[in-house]
Amino acid sequence: MREIVFDTETTGLDPQSGDRLVELGCVEMVNRVTTGRTYHAYFNPDRDMPPQAEAVHGLSAAFLSDKPRFVEHAEDFLEFIGDSPLVAHNAGFDFGFVNMELAACGLEPLSRDRMIDTVALARVRHPGAKNSLDALCTRYGIDRSHRTKHGALLDAELLAQVYVELTGGRQIGLELAADSTDTLVASISVIVRERTFRPARPHSASPEEQAAHAALIATFPSPAWGNTADRIQE
C-alpha cells in the first residue's frame, strides 16, 4: 500500500486570517517502508513573515522572495501524492493550509477521508503521554539531533519513522500485526473525521435538587457543618 507522509511550514496558525503555506515536504512509503522518493518545495507567500513563525522554521521573507508561488507547483504536488492516504502530525492543521492554497488555485480540496493523524494514533498508543514529534522521536529512539529548527521535509522524514513505530514497528511484516494495525489506523481516521463537540453540560443544581437537599439536611438533628439548609435556600 502506498502512503504519503507530509508536513508543512507556514506564516502562522490560521489560514482563514491570512496566514500562508511556505514549505511543503512529502515522503513516499510503500507497505510502510520509505522508497526514497520525496517531494519538497518552498513557496513565496506574498506577505511578511512574523518573527514568531520565523523563529520556529527559520524561513525569512527575504529567503522566500524569489521562490515560486504555490499555484506554480500545485499540479506537481497533486501528481506526486496521487490518490494515496496522507499521513501528518496534527493532520487537520496541514490539511487546512493545503486546502486553502488549492482553493485559491481553483482546485478541489484534499478529502479528509484520506487523512491519517499521527497525533490521534499516539494518543491511543500512549494515553496521557506527550505526543509532540520531538517526544515521540525520544520515545522510539529516533535520532533528531540534526533538527535544530522545524523543516517540512526533515519533519516528514522523522514522522515516517515515527509512523512505522506507531503502527507496529518491526512487526508490520507479520500478517496478523499488519491486519490489526490497518484496523487501528482506519478506526482512528474515522474518529478524527467524525469527531463532534457537544455543548457543555450545566453543573449547577436545579431548584428542585436544591429543595430536596435542604429537606434532607433538615432531618439531621445537628449537622456538623452548621445551618447549611438555610444557606442552600438563600
Any idea which residue has 487546512 for its cell? 96
Residues paired with residue 115 on neighbouring β-strands, in sequence order: 86
Indicate which residue of 57, 73, 126, 150 is catalytic. 150
The question of whether 126 is a catalytic residue gets the answer: no
Three-state secondary structure along 175-200?
A: HHHHHHHHHHHHHHHHHHHHCCCCCC
Find out whether 149 and 58 touch, Cβ atoms under 8 Å. Answer: yes
**What is the DSSP track for 198-234?**
PPPPP-SPPHHHHHHHHHHHHTSSS-TT-SHHHHHH-
| Sheet bearing 33-42, strands edge to edge | 33-42, 21-30, 2-10, 86-88, 115-117
Catalytic residues: 150
